[in-house]
Chains A and B, each alone.
Chain A
Amino acid sequence: QKEVEQDPGPLSVPEGAIVSLNCTYSNSAFQYFMWYRQYSRKGPELLMYTYSSGNKEDGRFTAQVDKSSKYISLFIRDSQPSDSATYLCAMSDPGGFKTIFGAGTRLFVKA
C-alpha cells in the first residue's frame, strides 16, 4: 500500500463547476498537508498548506484535512479553463525533512 493514494483521473468539468480533489494516506505521523498545481512541462507550484486538521481558504481554493479519517481534500470554486493542470497532494512529517507526494489528478476545465 502506498503511503499516499490519489486518483489520477482525468477529471473533466465545465467552466464554473465546483471541483473536489481528494487524497488518502496511511501514516498518522504526517502533520503538514500541501496541495501543488503542476502545468505541463513545468515544476509544481505550491497552492497552499495546512497544519494538522481543519480547513484553510485562499480565494477560490479551500483545503480540508480530516486526520481521524486520514483524508484530505481540495475544493476549487468557480473553476476556470486556466485551472486545467495536474493537482498533487503532498504530506510532510513533523521534522519537515521528507515530503511524500500523491500521483496527481489531471483536471480539465472546459470553456
Chain B
Amino acid sequence: ETGVTQSPTHLIKTRGQQVTLRCSSQSGHNTVSWYQQALGQGPQFIFQYYREEENGRGNFPPRFSGLQFPNYSSELNVNALELDDSALYLCASSSPGQAYEQYFGPGTRLTVT
C-alpha cells in the first residue's frame, strides 16, 4: 500500500509570486484535504476535494485554489504570495465522508521572503 506523497519537500518564494504544491493520495483513497500548519500551531483546514470537485472549504481567501485529477492526485495553488503564507502545507487522503481517518503526507515547507 502506497502512502501519501508530496512534492516538493521545501520551497522558497518571493512575496507576490505564485506556487503549486502537489500531492498523491494513498491507494484506495479518493478524497484529498489540504491543510496549512504555521509554526507552533495545529493544521488549519484549507479545502477538500472529492471526485475532482471542491467539497468543503475553510477560512482561506480565493487566492488559495486547488485541483484534483482523475487518478485522485491533487494540487494546491497559491497566488500573490504573502509573508504569512510561510508554513508547512499538508495533504491528507481519506475515503469519502471519513475525515476522521485521514492519512497525512510529510508536507511541503514553504518560505516566502
| Chain A residues packing against B (C-beta within 8 Å) | 4, 6, 8, 32, 34, 36, 42-46, 49, 51, 88, 90, 92, 95-104
| Chain B residues packing against A (C-beta within 8 Å) | 4, 33, 35, 40-45, 48, 55-56, 58, 90, 92, 94, 96-107
Q: Please tell me if the beta carbons of A8 and B43 are within 8 angstroms of each other in the complex.
A: no
Q: Please tell me if the beta carbons of B106 and A43 are within 8 angstroms of each other in the complex.
A: yes
B interface, over-half SS: loop
Contact of A88 among B40, B43, B100, B107 (CB under 8 A): B43
Residue of B nearest to A106 (CB): B40
Q: Please tell me if the beta carbons of B42 and A103 are within 8 angstroms of each other in the complex.
A: yes
Contacts of A49 in B (CB 8 A): 100-101
* Minimum C-beta distance from B70 to chain A (A): 21
Q: Please tell me if the beta carbons of A43 and B100 are within 8 angstroms of each other in the complex.
A: no
Contacts of A96 in B (CB 8 A): 94, 96-100
